[in-house]
């Protein structure tokens, strides 16, 4: 590990602690050349997830794209950014835990809709209208009526 101040590779670890939620290791280091201290983090390298689009193309899983889609659906709704990030975290980790590195976009969308339906029905309908590509008001009304007729949880 190179010192960010002088570039020397001679340093020692002075402290090691678990990082955020045990998903990383935080190390305090001291450069033996300039005696300055700096912090490094170690993370487990994840294999990239690939999403298979409706047209058969594969593209890397884009966490930001998913986050933005959910944020757009939940715009001006009582849904916090923390709740949205939690949904994205759970979806991403769920796919990583399965060990399957290629996932159909349909499965991603269904998982988002399931979570949004539990969290905020308006955000759910907004997301569903884009995800399911509603062609007219009848499809939209059918989805809303489905919510009205579903049992309360």
Highest-scoring range by mean pLDDT, 1-5, 21-25, 97-101: 1-5
- pLDDT band of residue 129 (cuts 50, 70, 90) is confident
- pLDDT band of residue 72 (cuts 50, 70, 90) is very high
- Per domain, the residue ranges of the chain are 11-43, 50-149
- Looking at residue 44, its pLDDT comes to 76
Dihedral sign, Cα of residue 110, residue 114, residue 117, residue 119: negative
- Mean pLDDT estimate for the chain: 87
Q: How many angstroms separate the CA atoms of 116 and 74, rounded? A: 9
pLDDT at 153 over 70: no
Angle at 112 between CA 134 and CA 126, to 5 degrees: 35
**27-57 residue pLDDT tens:** 999 999 999 999 998 877 777 889 999 899 9
Q: How many angstroms separate the CA atoms of 118 and 102, rounded? A: 26
Region 74-91: what's the mean pLDDT?
A: 92
- Looking at residue 135, its pLDDT comes to 73
CA gyration radius for the chain?
22
Q: How many angstroms separate the CA atoms of 74 and 67, rounded? A: 11
């Amino acid at each position: 590990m190179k010192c960010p101040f002088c570039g020397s590779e001679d340093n020692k670890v002075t402290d090691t602690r678990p990082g955020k939620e045990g998903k990383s290791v935080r190390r305090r280091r001291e450069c033996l050349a300039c005696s300055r201290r700096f912090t490094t983090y170690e993370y487990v390298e994840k294999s990239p997830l690939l999403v298979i689009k409706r047209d058969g193309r594969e593209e890397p899983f884009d966490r930001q794209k998913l986050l933005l889609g959910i944020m757009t659906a939940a715009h001006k709704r009582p849904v916090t950014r923390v709740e949205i990030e939690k949904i994205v975290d759970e979806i991403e980790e769920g796919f990583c835990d399965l060990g399957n590195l290629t996932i159909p976009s349909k499965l991603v969308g269904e998982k988002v809709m399931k979570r949004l339906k539990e969290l905020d029905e308006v955000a759910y309908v907004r997301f569903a209208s884009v995800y399911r590509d509603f062609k007219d008001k009848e499809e939209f009304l059918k989805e809303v009526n489905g919510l009205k007729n579903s049992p309360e949880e």
